[in-house]
A and B are shown apart, each in its own frame.
Chain A
Amino acid sequence: MKPLILTLRRNDHGRIDVSPLTPDKLHGMNRDAVAAIRLQCGRRRVRVDTLFEITGRGARRVEIRRSTDQLFRIGFRMRSGTLEVRGHAGDNLGERMEGGEIRVRGDAGEWVGASMGGGLIDVSGCVGHRIGAALPGQLTGMKDGLILIAGDAGDRAGERMRAGTIVVLGNSGPWLAHRMAAGTIIVMGRSGAHAGIGMKRGTILMGRKPLLPPVGFRAAGTLKMEFLRLLFKQLGGTRTSMAMFRGFGPEAIRLAGDLTAGGKGEILILLNARAGAAT
């Protein structure tokens, strides 16, 4: 089946809320119906065909081309299908997403996968703050799913995260996994200060030692953990960009914490990961 291609025209409308443009909502619509959808741009509501050139009809696969960071809420509450973004994505990419797949060939803004409940988000560039975090007012962040970031991530990745996996091949900002309830975060580059502060359970995997020792954590020895081999084997199969994970071994330094929040969480610093780590 041919994809629906939406190519952004020259945008002089400011930020555009593209939350209605997800494959599951557009599937089965003809071209005119898609064209007639109105998108919120500031105070105005503007038709899709004013903003985008439309090729094809509503399909399970949607491509947004020439995208810029002005498009926000891409893939909002998306349940199924594939959404491909060529160019940058704005804030709230995949907010409250439930299923399906979003691929971005560029950077994305803040709140990537905020409070998401399932599905996959794959960003080839860098992303802003609070990926997989809890939206304002919510008590839990990401509840399931997988977020893959090939570049760097901003502050507070996985804040209040409940379950699911976040992989950052580059560096991450401070307050990584702040108040995390459970789940897995992998950062192959450097992570900023205060990693894991307030985390209750869950696992942070680090490719490199953090610059500052994490506060509230205590060294718990060097361990061989077979589950790491399985985890990396599975991750290595998801994407070519993740293929480097395949050879990673089971040895890691374990730090237990945050001891002020029960200490059931852990930071694992991988021992044989340096060769494959992104810079």
Chain B
Amino acid sequence: MLTRLANGTIIDPAHGVNAVQRDIFIEDGRIVRAPAAMRKIDREYDLSGNIVMAGALDIHTHIGGGKVNIARVLLPEDHEQDPVAPSAGRRGGSGRAVPSTFVTGYRYAEMGYTACFEPAMLPANTRQAHLEMADIPIVDAGAYVLMGNDDFLLQLMSDGAPQALITDYVAWTMRATQALAVKVVNPGGINAFKFNQRKLDLDERHAVYDVTPRSILRALCTAVHDLGIPHPLHVHGCNLGVPGNDATTLDTITAADGLRMHLTHLQFHAYGKEGDRKFSSGAARIAERINAAQNISLDVGQIMFGRTVTASGDTMLQFRGAKHAHPKKTVTMDIECDAGCGVVPFNYRSRNFVNALQWCVGLELFLLINDPWRIFLTTDHPNGAPFTCYPHLIRLLMDREYRLEMLSGLHPAARQHSILASLTREYSLYEIAILTRAAPARSLGLGDRGHLGVGAAADVVVYRKRRNMEEMFSSPRLVFKDGKPVVQDGRIIDTPAGTVHRVAPEFDPAIARRLQRYFDRYHTVRLGNFRLGDDELLSYGRAGLSTHSCLPV
């Protein structure tokens, strides 16, 4: 079937196309060249005056894996207060901060998102994570496997194993868990927490293993680089949320030593400790450094005011944060000794100095980092805010007046501690398209997503032009997923299954012998059962498996 999207205003930064009126042709789920004149067009949409972009990608959103379910169980009231009734063709669900799987898919699609990536899949939770993501309709998914706190790796490093061995282990884990990238959370810190260390700075030694966070970052960065994984190491650094962690972040950038590194939810890692309240914004210093360091990319993890829940593998952090829980209940647990899990419900309040300044820090990062290709739009769903806040966030970035209006409602001291009022930058639609489409797709190595070139998957979003960007981005006129219309005028009309994205790095299979011994001795699962095969993954109900190429050095 040949579909023509006629007369739309195309914004496609991957090809440098900015607001050009052009037709797009879709056939068999792909964008194709303009066909010969005599070919019959089966379906035509007149998009005059509408803006056409590729489907948006969320590079960091917690939508699967153990912690999300734990958060759901912990917060029945989140579900009780936000029920979604089933309707023709779509299933019911509930939840605002941590919606149920179906609702997650619908809400993403309704905003024009067509791919979401779970950034913290513990190897032990692989099946849970993939099964859960397979239950999310419409959107594509992929997961980053969590490493850097597992005893096998720390033991290897402690024993002074050669980098090649560590690299093989990373590759083996990625294959076994069907991952798209590697993430490290509080390198070594989650493990150290189990040995009663309550903080672990970048150069602090682990109590048992002879490692420091810096050496772990270095080893994993090198492994990801050597394997040629498209997405750089996804780093949730040390000292999240601790005032003065801006210095740690700057040191972490140094620790990358020129290798590519992705700093995730950087907003939580950009706090200074100046001023009489011992809490200030470190955004300016960090932005200056990142502007100069071409090897670093980041996503912001903006917070929004209101109730949400923080779910993280960082047990050390969540143990510290448990006293701020609202409502007063938390889960802090270990998961199969792979890493940890902490779930703390949270209420960000605009009249609270710290929360208000966090809000400012996130926006300062957005506005001070010049290269939109290296910064991605996230709220670290659900940790900063539920992903449904994205249209509001886009409006804050694109509309200075609105931003100042919001700023005026904040805690007065936070306003004084922030330079946000003096920042005049307003994002253009073109830049928003980079932030939410072209740049994340490029960073993840998804060659056929995030752009509208010939051969790309036909994930297309059509927006009506509006003055109010929040309205525009919250209800697109049309959303196509792999060529099928899935949303029309803000309503779901079809719910096809998405694809799983992964990489398949090569490695020396000799590593399996070592792992066999480790598994036999320590693990609860046998090595053969631990691995998630392609057939099993496809049996979860995905439309397909999309393997992206690695370019090993």
Residues of A within 8 A of B79 (CB): 137
- Residue in chain B with minimal CB distance to A139: B77
Residues of B within 8 A of A240 (CB): none
A137 to B80, CA, bound (A): 5
Interface centre among A136, A137, A138, A139 (most CB of B within 10 A): A137
Chain B 55-84 interface mask (CB, 8 Å, partner A; 1/0): 000000000000000000000110111000
Q: B327 on the interface (CB 8 Å rule)?
A: yes
Interface centre among B76, B79, B81, B327 (most CB of A within 10 A): B76
Residues of B within 8 A of A135 (CB): 80
- Residue in chain A with minimal CB distance to B75: A137
Residues of B within 8 A of A137 (CB): 76-77, 79-81
Tell me the A188-226 residues at the B interface (CB within 8 Å).
none
- Rounded to whole Å, the gap between the CB of B279 and the closest CB of chain A is 31
A-side interface mostly: loop
Tell me the A134-165 residues at the B interface (CB within 8 Å).
135-139
Chain A 115-137 interface mask (CB, 8 Å, partner B; 1/0): 00000000000000000000111
Chain B 73-115 interface mask (CB, 8 Å, partner A; 1/0): 0001101110000000000000000000000000000000000
A190 to B80, CA, bound (A): 34
A157 to B490, CA, bound (A): 44
A263 to B327, CA, bound (A): 22
- Rounded to whole Å, the gap between the CB of A22 and the closest CB of chain B is 21
- Rounded to whole Å, the gap between the CB of B204 and the closest CB of chain A is 39
- Residue in chain A with minimal CB distance to B327: A139
Residues of B within 8 A of A138 (CB): 76-77, 80
- Residue in chain A with minimal CB distance to B94: A137
A138 to B79, CA, bound (A): 9
Tell me the B492-535 residues at the A interface (CB within 8 Å).
none
A139 to B81, CA, bound (A): 11
A170 to B76, CA, bound (A): 33
- Residue in chain B with minimal CB distance to A140: B77
Tell me the B316-342 residues at the A interface (CB within 8 Å).
327
Residues of A within 8 A of B76 (CB): 136-139
Residues of A within 8 A of B327 (CB): 139
- Residue in chain B with minimal CB distance to A135: B80
Residues of B within 8 A of A136 (CB): 76, 80
A135 to B327, CA, bound (A): 18
Residues of A within 8 A of B81 (CB): 137
A139 to B77, CA, bound (A): 7
A136 to B81, CA, bound (A): 11
- Rounded to whole Å, the gap between the CB of B73 and the closest CB of chain A is 11
- Residue in chain A with minimal CB distance to B76: A137
A84 to B500, CA, bound (A): 58
A211 to B444, CA, bound (A): 66
A139 to B79, CA, bound (A): 12
A137 to B81, CA, bound (A): 8
A142 to B128, CA, bound (A): 37
Chain B 390-429 interface mask (CB, 8 Å, partner A; 1/0): 0000000000000000000000000000000000000000
- Residue in chain B with minimal CB distance to A115: B80
Residues of A within 8 A of B80 (CB): 135-138
Interface centre among B80, B81, B327 (most CB of A within 10 A): B80
- Rounded to whole Å, the gap between the CB of A136 and the closest CB of chain B is 7
A140 to B327, CA, bound (A): 12
A257 to B302, CA, bound (A): 45
Chain B 288-329 interface mask (CB, 8 Å, partner A; 1/0): 000000000000000000000000000000000000000100
- Rounded to whole Å, the gap between the CB of A272 and the closest CB of chain B is 41
A9 to B413, CA, bound (A): 67
14 contacts between A and B (CB under 8 A): A135-B80, A136-B76, A136-B80, A137-B76, A137-B77, A137-B79, A137-B80, A137-B81, A138-B76, A138-B77, A138-B80, A139-B76, A139-B77, A139-B327
Residues of A within 8 A of B (CB): 135-139
- Beyond contacts A137-B81, A139-B76: 12 other A-B pairs, Cβ-Cβ < 8 A, are A135-B80, A136-B76, A136-B80, A137-B76, A137-B77, A137-B79, A137-B80, A138-B76, A138-B77, A138-B80, A139-B77, A139-B327
Residues of B within 8 A of A (CB): 76-77, 79-81, 327
Closest 4 CB pairs of A and B: A137-B80, A137-B76, A139-B77, A138-B80
